[in-house]
Amino acid sequence: MRRRYPAMLLPGPEAQQLAIYVGWLLNGLRGGLVAGTLFVLPGVVALLALSAVYVGFGDTTVVTALFAGLAPAVVAVVVQAVWRVAGRALTSRTLVAFAVLAFLSLAVLAVPFPVVVALAALAGWAVHRWRPTLVEPAGGHGAATDGPEPLIADDALHHDQPSGRRTATILAIGLAAWFIPVAMFAILTGTDSVYTQQGLFFSGTAVVTFGGAYAVLAFVAQRAVEHYAWLSAGDMVRGLALAESTPGPLIMVVQFVAFLGAYSNPGSLDPWVAGVAASLLTTWVTFVPCFLFILFGAPYVERLRGNRSLSAALTGITAAVVGVIANLGLYFAVHTLFSEVHEIDAGPVHMTLPDLGAVRPVPLVIAVLAAALIFWRRWSVLRVLGVCAGLGLIAGLAGLPGV
């Protein structure tokens, strides 16, 4: 099987979409459902258990020290993500400008993430209309590559012809599956409950997630921490560290966010029941759209792929994603490496700056070491996280400041 998949043509977690698409190609609807479900299930179970452990034991000396090592490592991991995505996406000066403008829009002007994505798509389309060579798609993970003959020939794969009946059926079932659980929580717990808020918020993020989990996590962190107050900035960094260490898509960190938010604001439910319920609801509204988008859009993929205007718009989004991930790295660095930050709110400028006199030496040293292990020694992310967790534990047990 040698086939280009539609992950960048549709919003949602790319790895999950690829699993669904491959399952659909091999065995149709049932294959897509089974592949997508089994792909995400181990991560759901693992992160649900880790979320419970974090809530139950997160204030103990050992766990606190472990996370003191993990959090700085996450900063280095995000820097690596910026570097890797930039190497693939920024193939011209115009695309570099897209990335820089996206970063400044988020970090300095506090422009909402969905607006940045929409403007990047519009800019990519407009520049292509003016001078196509400035935003020629770089190929990326969607490009076809030469290689050995596939084990499964393309003519043996599943094919569905586009039809109005098929489209209407999948759309109706998919939308019902997506929103009925949210509606049930709204009826049972109220429209202002944390469950309804999380169901609607994470449904919205599923629609604007282009470029993988890193691209949307800064938006999730900003809204979850500053607007909804479901968790702290430190909790958000630790949640990403947990998600990095578990199987499944990185976007699974939203499950951790939901668990902590509902545990702290359970309403009439027991806090533990609330955490599990919110975690599962958030997982549902995050991944059900992937099934809907892929099963709905798969028959149209090849037609869409030949549309140069759409391709240019997606190229603009991909370039902007580099700036979006860089903003995520800045967010985590500021809240991990410094004990105090200052908010600047002057006219159009809305940004957070660290107090340079409040640097935390131990996390800074661990972050630098993690970066060296990733970029110089080429260690895997899991190996780096393990080493840094161990260093944090040693520093915590030794009573070093800043842990």
Give the pLDDT score at 1.
46
Give the pLDDT score at 40.
92
Residue 97 corresponds to which tokens in the numbers above? 């400008």
The pTM for the full model equals 0.85
CA 94 to chain centre: 25
The DSSP string of 84-146 is HHHHHH--SHHHHHHHHHHHHHHHTS---HHHHHHHHHHHHHHHHHH-GGGG----GGGS---
* Residues 384 and 73 sit within 8 Å (Cβ to Cβ): yes
Spatial neighbors of 317 by CB under 8 A, at least 6 apart, are 8, 117, 120, 121, 124, 210, 211
Neighbours of 138 (CB within 10 A): 17
Sign of CA dihedral 38, 42, 47, 49: positive
Q: Is 7 exposed, middle or buried (0-12, 13-18, 19+ CB in 10 A)?
A: buried
> Torsion angle of alpha carbons 361, 380, 99, 286, nearest 10°?
-100
Positions of the chain with pLDDT under 50 = 1-4, 6, 138-146
Give the pLDDT score at 74.
92
Distance CA 162, CA 217 (A): 34
Paired strand residues for 344? 351
Distances (CA, A) of 52 to 27, 42, 257, 343: 36, 16, 12, 32
Sign of CA dihedral 382, 2, 319, 13: negative
Name the DSSP class of 225: I
Residue 218 corresponds to which tokens in the numbers above? 């800064």
Distance CA 230, CA 258 (A): 8
Residue among 184, 190, 202 at smallest CA distance from 13: 202
Strand, helix or coil at 398? coil
Q: What is the pLDDT of residues 88-117, one digit of tens each?
A: 889 999 999 999 999 999 999 999 888 998
Name the DSSP class of 224: I
What is the number of helices (H) and of strands (E) in the chain? 14, 2
Sign of CA dihedral 349, 352, 354, 355: positive
- φ, ψ (nearest 5 deg) of residue 349: -90, 125
User: How many residues are given for the chain?
Assistant: 403
Give the pLDDT score at 159.
65
Distance CA 60, CA 381 (A): 25
Nearest-Å Rg of the Cα atoms of the chain is 22
Distance CA 171, CA 163 (A): 12
Give the pLDDT score at 266.
95
- φ, ψ (nearest 5 deg) of residue 248: 100, 170
Paired strand residues for 345? 350
Strand, helix or coil at 63? helix
Distance CA 241, CA 235 (A): 10
> Torsion angle of alpha carbons 193, 197, 200, 204, nearest 10°?
180
* In the block, residue with structure tokens 């086939």: 3
